[in-house]
């Protein structure tokens, strides 16, 4: 009897990419939300990008218990370079992006794979998302336009309609556009989205694909001014490639504050009202008190506090 031929190892359907840098506070729920997906045919590429906290130790423990995790570590390179490094390692048909401080719903990968397999013209798929605060508490749900025509109509006016840590893309499309632009420190996700929009269709699912965590240590919060410049540059370059004569007008983000007291006050109020209308009265009171601490003589914080205080508490 001859020795049976060894069959080549089948590549996974999905490669999940996650770059980690000093995220030990939020890492466990992020990793577990991927490991607990209903769709199991994936590899989980994780790179520790120069963490100085206990992130690497946490990741090492997970990698020892689940063979789908492929963990590497290197000195700090930054998100764009790290994502490109993972892209060269990936073997899946589709690339799913995951951030180290967010949470993926259990059916995220299953829903996105099914959609992309049925719509080969789509090169970027994201979806609706929930905003959660630093403690993981629900704030609000944000929906996105779903069809390519709706998304492109907004794009032409300089409006984005995607959430990057909820995105899935064909790996071949990412390779075709050259991956992430490593010169874009804070907006490589937007730049990639715009370049992909020039070679195929964009789409969003109606269902939630990620629970997006808001906290002050995020890149968007720390480097707001640089991000605004890079966003404008990415749109300007995209319009030039399309032969359009337009000028991008920088606007503020709808859910992230800067470090300016007026911005932080505004967003503490926004988060508080989101909590209020989600029947989370105690959380609304907490954010009202944060707003009052920033600007104690502004009536808006006191109004939120009074509204939250006189309503019945339904969440706790």
CA distance 38 to 26: 22
- What pLDDT, on a 0 to 100 scale, did the predictor assign at position 272? 76
Q: Which residues contact 140 (CB under 8 A, 6 or more apart)?
A: 130, 131, 274, 277, 278
Domain limits, the chain: 14-241, 261-310
Distance CA 232, CA 246 (A): 11
Which of 213, 211, 58, 30 minimizes the C-alpha distance to 135?
213
* Residue 259 near residue 221, CB atoms below 8 Å: yes
Per-residue b or e along 75-92, where b marks 16 or more CB atoms closer than 10 Å to that residue's CB: eebbbbbbbbbbbeebeb
Check: CB of residue 247 under 8 Å from CB of residue 279.
no
pLDDT at position 316, please? Answer: 46
Return the pLDDT at 248.
59
The predicted structure's pLDDT at residue 153: 83
Residue 299 CB contacts under 8 Å (≥ 6 apart), including other chains: none
Please give the pLDDT value at position 2.
Answer: 45
In angstroms, the CA 284 to CA 133 distance is 12
CA 264/CA 256 separation, integer angstroms: 9
Helix ranges (H only) for the chain are 27-35, 55-65, 79-89, 108-118, 148-155, 171-176, 188-196, 219-222, 224-241, 261-277, 281-294, 299-310
Place of tokens 């080969």: 120
SS3 state at 65: helix
pLDDT in tens, the chain (316 residues): 444 444 455 889 999 999 999 999 999 999 999 999 999 999 999 999 999 999 999 999 999 999 999 999 999 999 999 999 999 999 999 999 999 999 999 999 999 999 999 999 999 999 999 999 888 888 889 899 999 999 988 887 777 788 999 999 999 999 999 999 888 877 788 889 888 989 999 999 999 999 999 876 555 545 666 667 777 777 777 767 877 766 655 554 555 666 677 777 877 877 776 777 777 778 777 777 787 888 888 888 787 778 878 865 554 4
Q: Report pTM.
A: 0.83
Report the C-alpha gap between 170 and 120 in whole angstroms.
Answer: 9
pLDDT digits (tens, 9 = 90+) for 106-134: 999 999 999 999 999 999 999 999 999 88
Name which CATH class applies to 14-241: alpha beta
């Amino acid at each position: 009897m001859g020795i049976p031929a060894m069959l080549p190892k089948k590549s996974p359907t999905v490669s999940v990419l996650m770059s980690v840098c000093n995220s030990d506070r939020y890492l466990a729920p992020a990793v577990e939300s991927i490991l607990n997906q209903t769709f199991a045919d994936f590899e989980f590429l994780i790179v520790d990008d120069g963490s100085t906290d206990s992130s690497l130790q946490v990741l090492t423990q997970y990698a020892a218990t689940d063979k789908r995790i492929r963990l590497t570590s290197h000195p700090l390179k930054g998100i764009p370079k790290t994502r490109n490094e993972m892209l060269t390692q990936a073997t899946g048909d589709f690339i799913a992006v995951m951030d180290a401080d967010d949470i993926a719903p259990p059916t995220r990968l299953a829903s996105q794979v099914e959609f992309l397999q049925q719509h080969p013209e789509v090169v970027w798929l994201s979806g609706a998302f929930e905003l959660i605060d630093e403690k993981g508490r629900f704030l609000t749900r944000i929906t996105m336009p779903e069809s390519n025509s709706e998304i492109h109509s907004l794009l032409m006016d300089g409006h984005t309609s995607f959430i990057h840590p909820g995105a899935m893309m064909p790996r071949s499309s990412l390779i075709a556009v050259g991956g992430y632009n490593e010169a874009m420190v804070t907006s490589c996700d937007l730049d990639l989205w715009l370049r992909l929009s020039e070679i195929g269709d964009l789409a969003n699912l109606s269902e939630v694909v990620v629970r997006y965590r808001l906290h002050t240590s995020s890149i968007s919060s720390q480097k707001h001014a640089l991000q605004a410049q890079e966003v404008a540059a990415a749109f300007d370059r995209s319009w030039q490639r399309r032969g359009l004569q337009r000028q991008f007008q920088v606007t503020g983000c709808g859910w992230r504050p800067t470090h300016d007291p007026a911005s932080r006050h505004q967003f503490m109020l926004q988060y508080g009202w989101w909590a209020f209308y989600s029947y989370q009265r105690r959380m609304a009171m907490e954010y009202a008190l944060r707003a009052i601490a920033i600007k104690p003589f502004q009536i808006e914080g006191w109004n939120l506090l009074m509204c939250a205080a006189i309503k019945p508490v339904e969440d706790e």
